[in-house]
Amino acid sequence: MDKLKSFLEKHFGHTAFKEGQREIIEAVIHGEDVFAMLATGSGKSLCYQLPALWKKGTAVIVSPLLSLMENQVQELKQNGIRQVAAYNSFLRPQEKEHILRHLADYKIVYISPESLQHPEFASRLEKLDVSLLAVDEAHCISQWGHEFRTDYLRIKEIRRLAGNPPCIALTATASADAKEDIIEKLELTNPLIHCDSVDRANIYIDVRKKKNEEEKRETLREECSRLPLPGMIYVNSRLKAEELAAFIREENGLKTSAYHGGMSNEDRRLVQQQFLSDEIDIICCTNAFGMGINKPNIRFVIHYHYSKDMESFMQEIGRAGRDGRQSLSLVLHDAADGMLPRRMLEHEFPSGEEIRMVSQDPDRPESTTSRFLMEKYGVEEVHARFLQFYIHKWQQTARTQTLEDFISSVVQRRMEWKLQKLNQKEYWLHQTGSCRRTALLKVFDEHNKNTVTPCCDVCGEYTMHVEHQRKMQEPELSWEERLKWILHQ
C-alpha cells in the first residue's frame, strides 16, 4: 500500500499527485535540499505542506507578502489543518508572545524574511526541532535580496542557527542566473532540481515600436476597444497608472481601476477583489500588482512601459491565459522609455557621497542598525538597510579593503549587472530578425520547439478574433455561482 498517497488523501483530499510533486516531496522527506520551479496551478504549496505534516517538528515557511501568508493560513485551516500560524507585524504583542512560547506545537509557521531576523524568533529556532525550511516565491531572493530587501540574503544564517534543516526553494519563474543565485544564497547542497517549462504556448507575443506617447495612447485606445476582456496594463509610475485608468474609462467606457503601492490597503484589497470577480475590465498597475494573483481568464497583458529585465517580463505576461485559452502579450515602446528605468536603477543605491560619509565616520559604532544610519546621516530607509547589510558583510571579511571601497565595488558590480539585464531586455525589444519566444526562452535555458502558432510578431502577424470572442464570453453567473466562486478564492 502507498502510505504517501493515503496521507495525501487524508490531509489534503487529493487522490493523486500532480506531475513532479511526488519526487519533490519524497526528497524533502528524506532530508534533501530542493530547488523547484513549478508552473502556477501545479500545486507548489503541497510540496512543503505535505512533508511539514509528515515529519516531526515544525516547518518554517518564508513568504514575501503578508497577504500571501494570510491566504495560506486560511486555506490550511479550511482544510482542517489547525497547527498553523503566521508570525508578523499584524499580530499584537500578546499574540506574538503566545506563538513564540508554543512554537513547537505548530506544524507550519509562516514568516517574512525580516521577522525571521528578530532575535526573539531566531533564538527560539535554535532550540526548536525545525523539520524543514521552505522559501516560497524564491525568485525574490535574487530579485529583491541584493538591494531592496536584504534580509532575503540572511536566510542562510538563520538556517545554520536552526541546525541546517533541509531547505526547499519554490518559484514559478526563475531565469538560469536567478536559479544559480538562489542555490548559492540559500547554500543548498546537492539539491534535487526540478524545473517545469516556463513556456506559455497560448500567449501570443507582440512588440510594437511607437513614435511617442501620443501614438502609444492611440494604440491603447484601439486595442482596448477590440481585445477580449479582462486585461492588465503595466506602467512604471503611480501617476501614470491613475492617468491611464482615467483615460480608458473615458475613451473606452470600460470599467478600469488603477492599482499601485501608494494606495491604501483597503483600496488595494477592494480593487484586487473586484478584478478577481470580473467586476473590473482592466486593471492599470505598477509592478505592485501580481504576486499571488491567480486569475484564470486574463486575456491580455499590455506593457505601456517595459519591465526592467526578462524575468520580470516573463512573470508579468505569465498572468495571462492561465485557463489555457488564447491570450496576448503586447509591449508598446518608444525612444524615451529607456530613461526612467536607468534613473530608477541609480536611485536604488546610496550615492557615493553617502557611502563616503557613512564609511569614514570614526564615531560610527561597530554594530550599526539601519535606524541609526537613517537618523545620523539622513539616508533613506532602503539605502540605510542596504548600507547596514554590507557594513556587516564587510566586518566578516579580512578587511583588506577599506569599507568605502568594499561598498562602492558592490554598488558598481550590481549596477553593471542590472544595467546589463536592462540592455538584454531592450535588445530583445528592438531586434526583429528572430523569434521572440525563442529568445525569451533562452533566458531560462530552454529551447523553443517551434511548434507554437500563433507565436509572435516576428514569426507572423496575428489578430485575435476579438469582437467574436467578446460576444462569446461566458454568460452572467447567478449570485449563487458567484458566491461559490468568491468563497472558493
**Site residues (vs DNA, CB under 7 A):** 64-67, 88-90, 111-112, 114-115, 118, 144, 147-149, 236-240, 260-262, 286-288, 308, 336, 339-340, 343-345, 347-348, 381-382, 385
In the complex with DNA, the residue whose CB is nearer, 236 or 327, is 236
Q: Which is nearer to DNA, 210 or 238 (CB)?
A: 238
Min dist. Cβ of residue 115 to DNA (A): 4
Q: DSSP letter for 84, please.
A: E
CB of 204 to DNA, least distance (A): 27
Provide the pairing of β-strand 300-303 with 231-234.
parallel
Kindly state the smallest distance separating residue 51's Cβ from DNA, in Å. Answer: 24
Please state the closest distance from residue 79 (CB atom) to DNA, in A: 23
Which string of DSSP letters, residue by residue, matches 233-296? EE-SSHHHHHHHHHHHHHHH---EEEE-TTS-HHHHHHHHHHHHTTS-SEEEE-TTS-TT---T
CB of 295 to DNA, least distance (A): 17
Nearer to DNA, 191 or 341 (CB): 341
How far apart, in whole angstroms, are the C-alpha atoms of residue 68 and residue 3?
Answer: 30
Using the minimum distance from each CB to DNA, give the nearer residue, 344 or 486. 344
Based on C-alpha coordinates, what's the Rg of the chain?
A: 24
Least distance from C-beta 262 to DNA, angstroms?
A: 6
Asked whether the beta carbons of 44 and 63 are under 8 A apart, the reply is no
User: Residue 131 or residue 286: which is nearer to DNA going by CB?
Assistant: 286
Q: How far is the CB of 342 from DNA (least distance, A)?
A: 8
59 vs 227 by CB, closer to DNA:
59
Cell of 282: 482592466
Q: How many helices (H) and strands (E) does the chain have?
A: 22, 13
Is 62 in contact with 116 (CB distance < 8 Å)? yes
Residue 216 or 385: which CB sits closer to DNA?
Answer: 385
Helix axes 21-29, 3-12, angle to 10 degrees: 100
Looking at the Cβ atoms of 147 and 181, the one nearer to DNA is 147
Q: How far apart are CA 360 and CA 294, in angstroms?
A: 48
- In sequence order, what are the beta bridge partners of 171? 37
- Dihedral sign for Cα atoms in the order 348, 353, 354, 359: positive
Q: Which of 304, 310, 285 is nearest to 295 (CA)?
A: 285
Looking at residue 64, what DSSP letter applies? S
CB of 366 to DNA, least distance (A): 21
C-beta closer to DNA: residue 12 or 349: 349
Q: How far is the CB of 463 from DNA (least distance, A)?
A: 32
Sequence-separated (6 or more) residues with CB below 8 Å from residue 422 = 308, 309, 338, 341, 342, 345
